[in-house]
């Protein structure tokens, strides 16, 4: 595990909401398909890719239906057969979170990032896990690394805003990220307007 800084913070109602909502969104946002690489006319490779996609889709369906053990079995088999793929590890991490095994989840997400340093879901998840244990430096680095790859990756935008606002005291920068999230999110939380209004008052705008 990365980072060992422990901090004790008395959570406000907003923090409690954000932690619960954040991990709920993490569990819902598992990888939907593995990146099996480009196809260059090799028929056998095409068949192999199709087989990987089919097994992965089966596991995703099982995971979404709540059959985590069956989904986990398929992901593990895919990882054993194709250790170069990050997606099975991402979803194994998501399952570990659902089973309240954050340490296992962190290892899995780190393995996914080792395979694909731009794996957005894993970077965001690692940031959330770091924030949960009070390691705010690591959390910030993870969120920013995700946003270097995709500045419009909404979960990391919101999580960085939360971190800067509630844990860092960087209110002006947090406001910018809240507003960016509000602009890009498909369905931003309706309470976001109130949070932005409150933050502007604290800044003195």
Share of the chain above pLDDT 90, in %: 71
Q: Any residues with CB less than 8 A from the CB of 199 and at least 6 apart, and which? A: 165, 171, 174, 175, 178
Q: Which residue has the higher pLDDT, 184 or 204?
A: 184
For range 72-90, the mean pLDDT? 96
Tell me, yes or no, whether 151 lies in a domain: yes
For range 32-37, the mean pLDDT? 65
Tell me, yes or no, whether 103 lies in a domain: yes
Taking the CA atoms of 21, 22, 26 and 29 in sequence, report the sign of the dihedral they define: positive
Share of the chain above pLDDT 70, in %: 79
The residue segments making up the domain with residue 149 are 117-205
Choose the weakest-confidence range: 11-20, 39-48, 192-201: 11-20
At 45 the pLDDT is 58
At 32 the pLDDT is 64
Residue 137: pLDDT above 90?
A: yes
State how many domains the chain has: 2
Q: What is the pTM of this model?
A: 0.81
What average pLDDT does the structure give for the chain? 84
Q: Are residue 127 and residue 168 in the same domain, yes or no?
A: yes
What is the distance between the alpha carbons of residues 205 and 203, in angstroms, rounded to a whole number?
6
Tell me, yes or no, whether 137 lies in a domain: yes
What is the distance between the alpha carbons of residues 112 and 91, in angstroms, rounded to a whole number?
10
**Diameter over CA atoms, the chain:** 63
The 3-state secondary structure of 102-162 reads HHHHHHHHHHHHHHCCCCHHHHHHHHHHHHHCCCHHHHHHHHHHHHHHCCCCHHHHHHHHH
**CATH no. for residue 68?**
1.25.40.10
Out of 93, 116, 139, pick the residue that ends a domain.
116
Residue 138: pLDDT above 70?
A: yes
């Amino acid at each position: 595990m990365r980072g060992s800084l422990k901090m004790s913070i008395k959570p406000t109602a907003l923090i409690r909401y954000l932690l619960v909502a954040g991990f709920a969104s993490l569990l819902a946002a598992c990888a939907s398909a593995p990146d099996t690489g480009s196809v260059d006319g090799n028929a056998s490779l095409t068949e192999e890719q199709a087989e990987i996609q089919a097994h992965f889709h089966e596991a995703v369906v099982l995971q979404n239906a709540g059959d985590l053990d069956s989904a986990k079995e398929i992901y593990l088999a895919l990882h054993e057969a194709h250790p170069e793929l990050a997606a099975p590890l991402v979803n194994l991490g998501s399952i570990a979170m659902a089973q309240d095994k954050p340490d296992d989840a962190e290892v899995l997400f780190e393995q996914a990032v080792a395979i694909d340093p731009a794996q957005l879901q894993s970077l965001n998840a690692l940031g959330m896990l770091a924030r949960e244990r009070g390691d705010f430096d690591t959390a910030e680095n993870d969120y920013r690394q995700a946003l270097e790859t995709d500045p419009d990756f909404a979960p990391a935008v919101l999580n960085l805003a939360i971190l800067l606002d509630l844990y860092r005291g960087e209110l002006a920068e947090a406001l910018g990220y809240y507003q960016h999230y509000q602009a890009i999110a498909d369905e931003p939380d309706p309470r976001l307007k109130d949070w932005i209004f409150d933050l502007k008052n604290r800044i003195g705008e």
